[in-house]
Amino acid sequence: MKTFDYVVVGSGLAGLTFALKAAERGSVAIVTKKSRADSNTAWAQGGIACVTSSEDSVSLHVTDTLIAGDGLCNEEVVRTIVSEGPERIAELVSLGMHFDERTGPEGIREPDLAREGGHSKRRILHAKDATGFEIEKTLLEAVAVHPNITVMENHMAVDLITTGKLGYAMQDGCVGLYVLDELSGEVETLRTDVTVLATGGCGRVYQYTTNPSIATGDGVAMAWRAGAAIANMEFMQFHPTCLFHPQAKSFLITEAARGEGGFLVDDRGKRFMGKYDKRHELAPRDIVARAIDAEMKRTGKPCVYLDISHLKAEFIRERFPTIHETCLKLGIDITHQPIPVVPAAHYQCGGVKTDLNGETSLRGLYAVGEAACTGLHGANRLASNSLLEALVMAHRAEAKASRNHHRQGIEVELPEWRPGKVQDVDELVVIYHNWDEIRRLMWDYVGIVRTDKRLQRAAHRLRNLQNEIQEFYWNFKITADLLELRNLATTASLIVDCAMSRKESRGLHFTLDYPGHDDARFLRDTFIRRF
């Protein structure tokens, strides 16, 4: 048994921020299932939404967030995160992060702010179109030299250990976790009074997604199995513009491309967003994604197009170098040609339910970043609010966890992992087949547009799949692939169950059977828990 003051699962912006702050008070282990640089953060192109301009204000940012959230945002949470954002950004800059700047009207250097859908002002801090990558690199450099941080790469969390599972009669709490060393195949036991889930989202539960392969809903699935409350999993955000090309799956075309003046057009080059919203291309993501989906179904075409070729070529190459280079390698010169795009699963607005300090319903367990449901996003996330939330909530969670740390533990010796009489997996094809089936059924039945019948079909098949996967889990030696499959099936089921219980359309949850809002019954979070 290895003991740490804090264990952080995940190595994105939220997890690394928490770890750096907690390391000033005690020992920290960062558990990450691939390399330390593999995270959703590293894939973020757009930037961080934050009030830094005299033309902007906290109240405007709050209002934009509430409008995008379609009635389900917690206004106290929204105002707190937006208000505390500038101070957290300043800390990030002090670590070495550099955001793009421009020369202001008086010759003074100032942030080069971008605008994205749903924002009434330019407030997006960015580093070209690779903001997340630069943030991740900055934080990892700080982590690498901190003596109190142990990074456990190629280690995947298996399950949380709770006092309830150990048979104690006291209030249930998290006291550690089991972790698979993917290189040796051995399972290690980690003891801690503070466990932080910073595992990112679950985009890989869908066939088409902008997320990296690691986004398999691990934190949500583990928290649910341990008895923590889960909320709002029906609100899965589909990014409107993922590159449509057989050689470049999962490549995002940042919303900033529309913020800088890009047009969405059909195969004849005709703009169509005016039919769906007065804000045209700068409407919130749920509206734009549904509009593109409707256009594709109306025309029978496999994609629509994002056209920025009317902008200056030099500006395009300077502002969007990653997108320009990637598309050029595929034979698309975005300075002269429109970009073929389709919607794809992008961000989970629900997750492990927390308060304003990142505390879950399970004592000793915290959740930050995309794995958490804080109340900021409501029924639809406002673009670039996610990195802001990760920064602010990691700071608040660490402050609360450190205040509680020495007062809430119980002296226990955790049992070692007992594998039982299991055998090596001899039919990996079963794992890959089930993985593929989950992603396909979620795309077909629980996508941008839903119906009761589609959800019922998904629920029926997922019940059977969960039984198959559970039998596989208990009879074979665990591997990272098997654990991810188990978590995918659990997360998919949570999404379906939440969606089935919301008999209305709101934000990202749109169902043909209930096309309107029902504030009398559903102006509330959707809660689900195992016990």
Active site residues: 285
In the DSSP assignment, the letter for residue 415 is: P
Token pair belonging to 325 = 């280079």
Residue linked to tokens 């937006």 = 82
Token pair belonging to 303 = 């994609």
Helix orientation angle between 13-22 and 385-404, rounded to the nearest 10 degrees: 30
- Between the CA of residue 261 and those of 114, 119, 316, 354, 529, what are the distances in Å? 11, 14, 11, 37, 44
Residue type, 122: R
Burial of 10 (0-12, 13-18, 19+ CB in 10 A): buried
Helix orientation angle between 452-475 and 480-501, rounded to the nearest 10 degrees: 150
Q: Are 86 and 395 in contact (CB under 8 A)?
A: no
Token pair belonging to 5 = 């003051």
In the DSSP assignment, the letter for residue 369 is: G
- Between the CA of residue 422 and those of 194, 449, 476, what are the distances in Å? 31, 42, 5
Q: Provide the 10 A C-beta neighbour count for residue 169.
A: 7
* 81, containing H or E segment: helix 75-94
Token pair belonging to 165 = 């599972």
